[in-house]
Amino acid sequence: QVQLVQSGGEVKKPGASVKVSCKASGYTFNTYGISWVRQAPGQGLEWMGWISPYNGNTNYAQKLQGRVTMATDTSTSTAYMELRSLRSDDTAVYFCARDAEQWLALPYFDSWGQGTLLTVSS
Amino acid sequence: EIVLTESPGTLSLSPGERATLSCRASQSVSNDYLAWYQQKPGQAPRLLIYAASSRATGIPDRFRGSGSGTDFTLTISRLEPEDFAVYYCQQYGSAPFTFGPGTKVDI
């Protein structure tokens, strides 16, 4: 069965960087896009960006441009999301999520990681 | 950017009742690429509906999606105890692929 397993929670100071991993199993990794979605405490869902493991193409939310980088390692079926210049309002649970349809680059999601809590605090 | 507005913010109902959730887009959603998710506390979202009206694998037929263009609806025909949760719509027709603010269905 499809599984996305994320790295553990992080506590960072403002201005620092964080890198969250998402290890996929149960399917052919490079045939489905991966998005990152975050959820601030008690708030809704925010799409951060998408990456194709097949060719590395990315599409980032404009508000995060310049601060976020998404990457994949097809040899280990792992996706990564790095966020830099952290601020207190980056405190959130970060989810990786797999496109529901193979190859089509339609970012709606049938499988999700368990979430990684990032706390940004001085 | 397409802004999605969900209403009502909270829906207070009882098991067995019908729930009608609305999602309105600030501009037409390309190809009616509109999905609905259910989220329970401490859990990741779960895909219910895609392409406005197609049920995802394993989703009971009491969940029905409808609508097109800018107006979409999720209907839960008879609420089961496990259906009390927050529901989000998401458009994936054009980047950025935005979510609505959510509707909480509670008892």
**Which pLDDT tens digit goes with each residue over A53-95?**
999 999 999 999 999 999 999 999 999 999 999 999 999 999 9
Nearby residues of B65 by Cβ (< 8 Å), 6 or more positions away: B34, B36, B48, B49, B52, B53, B54, B55, B72, B73, B74, B75
pLDDT at residue A5 is higher than 90: yes
CB contact under 8 A, B44 and A61: no
Whole-number mean pLDDT of chain A? 96
Counting residues of chain A whose pLDDT is more than 70, the rounded percentage is 100
- Measured between beta carbons, the chain A residues lying within 8 angstroms of B90 are 45, 47, 108
Residues of chain B with pLDDT under 50: none
Q: List the structure tokens of A87.
A: 């601020």
pLDDT at B76: 97
pLDDT at A102: 86
Residue A58 three-state SS: strand
Bridge-partner residues for B5, per DSSP? B24
Q: Any idea what DSSP says for residue B82?
A: G
Q: List the structure tokens of A85.
A: 């210049």
Nearby residues of B27 by Cβ (< 8 Å), 6 or more positions away: B2, B70
pLDDT at residue A104 is higher than 90: no
The phi and psi torsions of A31 (rounded to 5 degrees) equal: -105, 0
pLDDT at B90: 98
pLDDT at residue A41 is higher than 90: yes
- Which residue in A46, A62, A109 is closest to B47 by CB distance? A109
Number of Cβ within a 10 Å radius of residue B57: 7
Closest-CA residue of A relative to B35 is A108
Q: CA–CA separation, A22 vs A82, rounded Å?
A: 12
**pLDDT band per the 50, 70, 90 thresholds, residue A105:** confident
CB contact under 8 A, A47 and B57: no
- Measured between beta carbons, the chain B residues lying within 8 angstroms of A61 are 96
- Measured between beta carbons, the chain B residues lying within 8 angstroms of A113 are 44
Residue B7 contacts A, CB cutoff 8 Å: no
